[in-house]
Amino acid sequence: MADDKNQNAGDGGTTKKKPSMITGIIAGVLVAVVFAVGIFIGVKIFGGSSGDKNDTKKDKTEKHQDEEAEDEEETTSKVVKLVVPTKEDLIFSPRGSSTRYVVVALGFEVEDEKAKDVVEKELMIPIQSEVLKKLRSYSLDELQQQGLQDSLPLILKKEIKPFFHDIKLRNVYMSKFLIQ
Protein backbone atom coordinates (compact mmCIF):
# COMPACT_ATOMS: atom_id res chain seq x y z
CA MET A 1 0.00 0.00 0.00
CA ALA A 2 2.70 2.36 0.88
CA ASP A 3 4.37 1.39 -2.36
CA ASP A 4 1.15 2.19 -4.24
CA LYS A 5 1.02 5.63 -2.64
CA ASN A 6 4.64 6.28 -3.54
CA GLN A 7 4.05 5.12 -7.10
CA ASN A 8 0.93 7.28 -7.45
CA ALA A 9 2.71 10.22 -5.88
CA GLY A 10 5.63 9.66 -8.22
CA ASP A 11 3.32 9.43 -11.24
CA GLY A 12 1.32 12.45 -10.12
CA GLY A 13 4.43 14.52 -9.65
CA THR A 14 5.75 13.67 -13.09
CA THR A 15 2.51 14.39 -14.83
CA LYS A 16 2.26 17.74 -13.06
CA LYS A 17 5.73 18.71 -14.25
CA LYS A 18 5.06 17.74 -17.89
CA PRO A 19 1.99 19.93 -18.36
CA SER A 20 3.70 22.89 -16.73
CA MET A 21 6.77 22.42 -18.95
CA ILE A 22 4.62 22.15 -22.09
CA THR A 23 2.59 25.15 -21.01
CA GLY A 24 5.78 27.12 -20.48
CA ILE A 25 7.09 26.21 -23.94
CA ILE A 26 3.77 27.14 -25.58
CA ALA A 27 3.69 30.43 -23.68
CA GLY A 28 7.27 31.18 -24.77
CA VAL A 29 6.47 30.47 -28.42
CA LEU A 30 3.34 32.64 -28.25
CA VAL A 31 5.31 35.52 -26.73
CA ALA A 32 7.91 35.21 -29.48
CA VAL A 33 5.24 35.19 -32.22
CA VAL A 34 3.44 38.21 -30.72
CA PHE A 35 6.77 40.05 -30.44
CA ALA A 36 7.65 39.27 -34.07
CA VAL A 37 4.21 40.35 -35.32
CA GLY A 38 4.51 43.57 -33.31
CA ILE A 39 7.85 44.40 -34.89
CA PHE A 40 6.49 43.62 -38.37
CA ILE A 41 3.46 45.88 -37.88
CA GLY A 42 5.63 48.61 -36.40
CA VAL A 43 7.94 48.58 -39.41
CA LYS A 44 5.00 48.63 -41.83
CA ILE A 45 3.24 51.49 -40.07
CA PHE A 46 6.20 53.67 -39.15
CA GLY A 47 8.48 52.70 -42.02
CA GLY A 48 11.90 51.20 -41.98
CA SER A 49 15.25 52.81 -41.50
CA SER A 50 16.69 55.19 -44.05
CA GLY A 51 18.93 52.34 -45.21
CA ASP A 52 15.88 50.44 -46.47
CA LYS A 53 14.83 53.37 -48.65
CA ASN A 54 18.31 53.56 -50.18
CA ASP A 55 18.30 49.82 -50.88
CA THR A 56 15.07 50.07 -52.89
CA LYS A 57 16.51 52.93 -54.94
CA LYS A 58 19.63 50.91 -55.68
CA ASP A 59 17.50 48.05 -57.00
CA LYS A 60 15.98 50.20 -59.75
CA THR A 61 17.62 50.22 -63.13
CA GLU A 62 19.51 53.29 -64.28
CA LYS A 63 17.00 53.89 -67.04
CA HIS A 64 14.14 54.07 -64.57
CA GLN A 65 16.13 56.36 -62.31
CA ASP A 66 16.82 58.74 -65.18
CA GLU A 67 13.18 58.78 -66.27
CA GLU A 68 11.92 59.28 -62.73
CA ALA A 69 14.40 62.05 -62.06
CA GLU A 70 13.36 63.77 -65.26
CA ASP A 71 9.66 63.41 -64.45
CA GLU A 72 10.17 64.66 -60.89
CA GLU A 73 12.19 67.61 -62.17
CA GLU A 74 9.47 68.51 -64.62
CA THR A 75 6.57 68.14 -62.21
CA THR A 76 8.26 69.96 -59.34
CA SER A 77 8.96 72.90 -61.62
CA LYS A 78 5.97 75.18 -61.06
CA VAL A 79 6.88 77.70 -63.77
CA VAL A 80 5.03 76.89 -66.97
CA LYS A 81 7.01 77.93 -70.03
CA LEU A 82 4.78 77.66 -73.11
CA VAL A 83 1.76 75.45 -73.54
CA VAL A 84 0.62 74.47 -77.00
CA PRO A 85 -3.09 73.54 -76.82
CA THR A 86 -4.80 71.21 -79.23
CA LYS A 87 -6.64 73.37 -81.75
CA GLU A 88 -9.87 71.49 -81.14
CA ASP A 89 -11.18 69.01 -78.63
CA LEU A 90 -10.39 65.37 -79.32
CA ILE A 91 -13.58 63.31 -79.52
CA PHE A 92 -13.52 59.52 -79.60
CA SER A 93 -15.48 56.41 -78.71
CA PRO A 94 -13.94 54.16 -76.08
CA ARG A 95 -13.12 50.55 -76.97
CA GLY A 96 -16.30 48.47 -77.10
CA SER A 97 -18.71 51.41 -76.93
CA SER A 98 -20.40 52.81 -80.00
CA THR A 99 -22.96 54.97 -78.19
CA ARG A 100 -20.71 56.80 -75.71
CA TYR A 101 -18.14 59.48 -76.47
CA VAL A 102 -15.23 61.02 -74.63
CA VAL A 103 -14.08 64.61 -75.13
CA VAL A 104 -10.50 65.54 -74.25
CA ALA A 105 -8.54 68.77 -74.57
CA LEU A 106 -4.77 68.69 -74.13
CA GLY A 107 -1.88 71.10 -73.88
CA PHE A 108 1.80 70.34 -74.43
CA GLU A 109 4.37 72.33 -72.48
CA VAL A 110 7.55 73.17 -74.42
CA GLU A 111 10.63 75.28 -73.74
CA ASP A 112 10.46 78.22 -76.15
CA GLU A 113 8.57 79.99 -78.90
CA LYS A 114 10.45 78.16 -81.68
CA ALA A 115 9.43 74.78 -80.22
CA LYS A 116 5.84 76.01 -79.91
CA ASP A 117 5.76 76.92 -83.62
CA VAL A 118 7.17 73.53 -84.64
CA VAL A 119 4.61 71.68 -82.54
CA GLU A 120 1.69 73.78 -83.83
CA LYS A 121 2.67 73.65 -87.51
CA GLU A 122 4.37 70.29 -87.99
CA LEU A 123 3.70 67.91 -85.12
CA MET A 124 0.13 68.56 -83.96
CA ILE A 125 -1.64 66.20 -86.37
CA PRO A 126 0.64 63.18 -85.78
CA ILE A 127 0.51 63.85 -82.02
CA GLN A 128 -3.29 64.01 -82.03
CA SER A 129 -3.43 60.81 -84.05
CA GLU A 130 -1.20 58.97 -81.57
CA VAL A 131 -3.15 60.34 -78.59
CA LEU A 132 -6.46 59.23 -80.08
CA LYS A 133 -5.04 55.80 -80.87
CA LYS A 134 -3.93 55.39 -77.24
CA LEU A 135 -7.17 56.72 -75.76
CA ARG A 136 -9.33 54.48 -77.96
CA SER A 137 -7.53 51.46 -76.55
CA TYR A 138 -9.24 52.00 -73.16
CA SER A 139 -12.74 50.75 -72.39
CA LEU A 140 -15.42 52.99 -70.92
CA ASP A 141 -15.03 51.35 -67.49
CA GLU A 142 -11.28 51.96 -67.54
CA LEU A 143 -11.72 55.60 -68.53
CA GLN A 144 -14.17 56.16 -65.67
CA GLN A 145 -11.59 55.10 -63.07
CA GLN A 146 -10.13 58.09 -61.26
CA GLY A 147 -6.67 56.51 -61.10
CA LEU A 148 -6.42 56.26 -64.89
CA GLN A 149 -7.74 59.78 -65.37
CA ASP A 150 -5.08 61.10 -63.02
CA SER A 151 -2.26 59.23 -64.75
CA LEU A 152 -3.36 59.85 -68.36
CA PRO A 153 -1.16 62.94 -68.86
CA LEU A 154 1.97 60.94 -67.95
CA ILE A 155 0.87 57.97 -70.07
CA LEU A 156 0.24 60.24 -73.05
CA LYS A 157 3.54 62.02 -72.52
CA LYS A 158 5.40 58.73 -72.83
CA GLU A 159 3.39 57.83 -75.95
CA ILE A 160 4.09 61.06 -77.83
CA LYS A 161 7.63 61.72 -76.63
CA PRO A 162 9.16 60.11 -79.77
CA PHE A 163 7.62 62.89 -81.90
CA PHE A 164 9.63 65.50 -80.00
CA HIS A 165 13.10 64.79 -81.41
CA ASP A 166 14.87 68.10 -80.86
CA ILE A 167 12.18 69.64 -78.67
CA LYS A 168 11.95 69.09 -74.94
CA LEU A 169 8.40 68.07 -74.00
CA ARG A 170 8.17 69.24 -70.41
CA ASN A 171 4.63 68.24 -69.53
CA VAL A 172 1.23 67.25 -70.89
CA TYR A 173 -1.85 68.93 -69.45
CA MET A 174 -5.42 67.71 -69.71
CA SER A 175 -7.74 70.69 -69.50
CA LYS A 176 -10.92 68.81 -70.40
CA PHE A 177 -12.08 65.23 -69.90
CA LEU A 178 -15.76 64.54 -70.44
CA ILE A 179 -17.56 61.25 -70.87
CA GLN A 180 -20.92 61.64 -72.65
Q: Spell out the domain ranges in the chain.
A: 2-59, 80-179
Q: How many CB atoms lie within 10 A of CB 127?
A: 22
Q: Is the pLDDT confidence value at 126 over 90?
A: yes
Higher-confidence position of 151 and 8: 151
CB atoms under 10 Å from CB of 102, counted, come to 21
**pLDDT for res 61:** 44
Q: Are 101 and 93 contacting, i.e. CB atoms less than 8 angstroms apart?
A: yes
Averaged over 31-37, what is the pLDDT? 83
Number of neighbouring beta carbons within 10 Å of residue 169:
22
Q: Which residue has the higher pLDDT, 32 or 154?
A: 154
Which class in CATH covers the domain with range 80-179?
A: alpha beta
Nearest of 7, 161, 135 to residue 70 by alpha carbon: 161
99 closest CA partner among 16, 179, 5, 9: 179
- The rounded mean pLDDT for the chain is 79
pLDDT(31) > 60: yes
Min mean pLDDT across 22-26, 35-39, 87-91, 137-141 is at 35-39
Residue 13, Cβ neighbours under 10 Å: how many? Answer: 10
Q: What is the pLDDT of residue 69?
A: 54
- Mean pLDDT for the stretch of residues 11-16: 50
How many residues appear in the chain? 180
pLDDT, position 80: 66
Section 143-157 average pLDDT: 93
| Percentage of residues in the chain having pLDDT higher than 70 | 71
